[in-house]
Chains A and B, each alone.
Chain A
Amino acid sequence: MAKDNVIVIGGGPCGIEVSRNLRDLGYTPILLEQQSELGGHLRLWDRLFPEGVEARKILKDLTSDLKGVKWFTDVNIESIHKSRKGYTVNVDTGMSFETKALVVTTGFKLFPAERKQEYGYNIYERVITNADLEQYFHTRKDPRIQNPKTIGFVHCVGSRDEKACNRQCSKVCCATAVKQASEIKELFPDAIVYCFYMDLRLFGRSYEDMYLTAQKQYGVRFIRGRVSEVSEDIDGKLFVKAEDTLLGKPMKMKLDLLVLMTGILPGESTTQLSEMLKINVGEDGFFTPRDTILEPCRAKDAGLFMAGACTGPKTIPETLSEARATAIQVHKYLSR
């Protein structure tokens, strides 16, 4: 069997897994990554819910066996041409690839927290994001985190918010918040940790256990109310305003650290490729597949596939399953 090229755009966990599976099916995957390393957001995360597996270990396992995968980093897509035969992808390094099947795995980006000015990210000293906190868990270095006594987690920053121009639920941040709240409590056992949520959406297997552990073992206090604004006093302490909607009482509390659980938006390359390849996107900016239930990995155009977070927020296991499914779809398409 002739080894067909399959181009995979986006070298995050999804792109890596698609490529590995395509290779196993006898193809030559060409994996293109914009950044200087493979791994996407997984590189920036410390541990993964629910069990707290180290993200770097997962990434290492994924990248340990890339034999047969032609992968390129620091590559930007210049243009893509569609013909009857398939696609020609031109990149900024001057290379050009031909393929019958193109897989897009361009993923997501985190909501830029400074866009919600009322939370004071980049304005107040002690406001950080979930990504910053993961970085801190790994490096244990962040000038903004100085033995905090009271810590607040704000859920749904840039998700489920018309004013952030993102109506959708980002799906993974509730679980991340519960995970991070427990982790920070482990680091600072004396700290009081609050989670301000609108709805807790922990949907997966054993996520409820994680929630229970956060309550029982770590004593994380869950307050059902969205933070509406944050101010800062002279010593840099934060004043947070929220309503405890279950008690029906507005509250104003002083915090040493505020963590913003930034939501998930379509990645910049996702938006860029949707224009380049004329892929339909929903109001939320994510790709719309041919059929959301039966063919979630195929675009309207023949030979064009997509997987992972470019079609909406997903957990790592979901992304990896989708990657494998996509590889089989590509195989079916190429061996018609």
Chain B
Amino acid sequence: MRERFLVGFDPFVLPFLLGMAFVLTYCIIGLIKVILQLSKADRRKLAVSLFKPANAWKNLRDMFCDCLIHVKLWKRNPKLGYMHSSIAFGWFMLIVFGHIETFIFVPKKAGLFYYPIFFRYFMEMENYNLRGSFFFFIMDFFLLVVLSGIVLAMYKRIRSRFFGMRRTTRLSITDRVGLYSLWAIFPLRWIAEGFTAGIAGGSFMTIPINLLLKNFMSNPENITVAWWLYSIALGTFMFALPFSRYMHIPAEILLIPMKNAGLKVYHPRKGFSLAQIYTCPSCGVCIDACPMSASRQNLKDTTVYLVRQIKRNNARRMNAMTDKCLMCGKCQEVCQIALQSYDIRMRIRERATYNVGLKYDYLDSYQPETGKCKVLYYAGCMSSLTPVTGRSIKKLLDTARINWTQMDAGGGVCCGRPLILAGRRNEAAALIEKNTAVIESSGAQILLVSCAICYRVFKEEYKLKGIKVMHYTEYFNELMEEGRLKLNRGELRYAYHDPCDLGRGCGIYDEPREALSRVGIIAPAEKERAMSVCCGGSVGSLTLDFESRAPITEASVQNMLFSNPDRIVTACPLCLKTFALYSPVKVVDFAEALCDGLEKKS
């Protein structure tokens, strides 16, 4: 194998070269920008983690699994996974082997960016040998892999359901330019290499193309046209890349080390979150996952579109979309890049001004009598509207002979989470401080909480010295495990709903199920645990009104009815109230369900 041209250059490589130069410049500037936006502490954290061997290994592994193989998508749907990894991994291998070829055959040209890409144009085959045909085969093989991915990608645009997606993202104009040029690159490469296959050699993909139109193809005029088109497609893609979703390709390489360094989102569109925003590939998996998608009018407010508006810095839409969100965290759970949409939205909310001027100095007079007790029960604001919960908890605690007191029996101070969800973190501090003082002065060992919303804020924001915060699902399960609470098993089938703040928020999935399986039979929901569907009542949403929540709740109820349960069980007063609106099946609180096991004692 030898070079065809002494100069080793042809003007057709220019579109590609310019595009490449543009992308590299853009990415380097972007990289510097993101790094500069990080706080000093974060920068140090990132630097330290880069050099830790364990972390470095993790970074490499994540880059391989996430960027090239798309493991998360494989798990979601193998067809979707194959489509993405065939393009990403196939293309990557084409580049890698292109470079290896260049290194082996023309090492002095290895420094030229374009050489490995247009290798087949610049080379001429002298004689057939094993090494050469190995590369011919490999390159054609990966070209086939990529092409198969492209065919699937085209099919996905027509029928996304085939890939397990009901809806796909509506693409922006630059996304379309990127998409169509990406689709064009590989067929054009195939044709271009087919043209030169007679000269430079080829394998099972390119040779047949060459043979097919022998006379037409051996015309040198046509050869150059084909390679020009291939280069233009590449160039177009490169120029569109920074302004399209394909920015995720370079951005993810930055995001992975940042994530593994444990950075936190501190601003909606700076530093760590900027890296996340650009890593979003707009795949649209979050659209189907979003509980708001139960009504069409909300589709445009899902995370993928929020990311687009953040990129455009459209403050009005960013705020509107954020205020509408239920903050259930499901999009984050299904996201293949684990975009921290919850944190990003929180930062947007925290920056919104409402001119409320909240003042809680009136709380100084609040001194509830808790007495001294082992277990202090905090019911929360909403539980006074679901008296069955309180009554059932009382029954269970008294049956287990627990020394307990309710802290907010005569009206208490809100836990602070609704304020935090409205972006009023600083104001919430006053409530947290007050509650902390009351709880600590009670001398209790355990703070028992029956509301999933309260529980999350107690876990995340409160620092209670020597006091264990327990959700009643954890606590009662523990009591049963220890044999202090004995309940009888009945025949009722319970479908347990994972409240967002308890499940995805605090990772409590097993305890409630274990406890319930001691009093009855668990009837699984269609989607549960981390995939659970928000009930639609969430205080996380600021702007969704009562009517627009109805379809969300109805969809969530349907999800719960999957295996025809006798009861829907939930462990949050808000879910309880919300489900009760539209459920054809009786909706009960977790403690109420456990009490079914008390009654059968004879």
Query: Do A and B touch (CB < 8 Å)?
Result: yes
- Measured CA separation A232–B582 after assembly (Å): 27
User: B582: which A residues are within 8 A, CB to CB?
Assistant: 165
Interface string of B351-391 (1 = CB under 8 A from A): 00000000000000000000000000000000011111001
A85 part of interface (Cβ distance < 8 Å): no
* B384, A123: Cβ atoms closer than 8 Å: no
B583 to chain A, nearest CB (A): 11
Residue of A whose beta carbon sits closest to that of B582? A165
Give the docked Cα–Cα distance between A81 and B577 (Å): 40
Q: For window 173-211 of chain A, which residues contact chain B by CB distance below 8 Å?
A: none
Check if B546 is an interface residue, CB within 8 A of chain A: yes
Name 13 A/B residue pairs within 8 A (Cβ), A-sorted.
A115-B580, A117-B386, A117-B387, A117-B577, A117-B580, A118-B385, A118-B387, A120-B387, A123-B388, A123-B391, A165-B582, A229-B385, A231-B384
List the 9 closest A-B pairs by CB distance, nearest first: A118-B385, A123-B387, A120-B387, A117-B386, A229-B384, A229-B385, A123-B388, A162-B546, A165-B581
- CB of A118 within 8 A of CB of B581, answer no
Docked complex Cα distance between A162 and B546 (Å): 9
Nearest-CB distance from A160 to chain B (Å)?
14
Are A117 and B384 in contact (CB-based, < 8 A)? Answer: no
- Expressed in whole angstroms, the Cα–Cα distance for A175 and B391 within the complex equals 34
Give CA–CA (A8, B386) in the complex, Å. Answer: 42
Q: Inside 8 A of A117's CB, which chain B residues have their CB?
A: 385-388, 577, 580
For the residues of A in contact with B, the DSSP-based class is mixed
User: Bound state CA distance, A162 and B581, in angstroms?
Assistant: 9
Mark A120-136 against chain B: 1 for CB-CB distance below 8 A, else 0. Answer: 10011000000000000
Q: Is the interface of B mostly helix, strand, loop or mixed?
A: helix
Which residues on B sit within 8 Å (CB–CB) of A84? none
Give the interface of A toward B (CB within 8 A).
115, 117-118, 120, 123-124, 162-163, 165, 229-232
Residues of B within 8 A of A123 (CB): 387-388, 391
**Roughly how many angstroms separate A124 CA and B580 CA in the complex, as a whole number?**
19
**Shortest Cβ distance from B409 into A: residue:** A231
> Residue among B384, B386, B387, B581 with the most chain A CB within 10 A?
B387
Residues from chain A with Cβ under 8 Å of B577 in the complex: 117, 163
Whether the pair A118, B386 counts as a contact (CB closer than 8 A) is yes
Would you call A231 and B581 a contact (CB within 8 A)?
no
Q: Which residue of A lies closest to B547 (CB)?
A: A162
Report Cα–Cα, A162/B577, bound state, in Å: 13
For A241, the closest partner residue in chain B by CB is B384
State A163–B577 Cα separation when bound (angstroms): 9
Q: What is the bound-complex CA distance between A117 and B546, given in angstroms? A: 19
Within 8 A of A (CB), among B562-602: 577, 580-582
Query: A163 to chain B: which residues have CB within 8 Å?
Result: 577, 581
Least Cβ–Cβ distance between B232 and chain A, in angstroms: 59
Q: Which residues of A contact B581 (CB under 8 A)?
A: 163, 165
Give chain A residues whose Cβ lies under 8 Å from the Cβ of B546: 162
Chain B window 69-113, contacts with chain A (Cβ cutoff 8 Å), 1 for yes, 0 for no: 000000000000000000000000000000000000000000000
Complex-state Cα separation, A118 to B387, whole angstroms = 6
The chain A residue with its CB closest to the CB of B573 is A117
B residues in contact with A120, CB < 8 Å: 387
Among A115, A117, A123, A162, max chain B CB count under 10 A is at A117
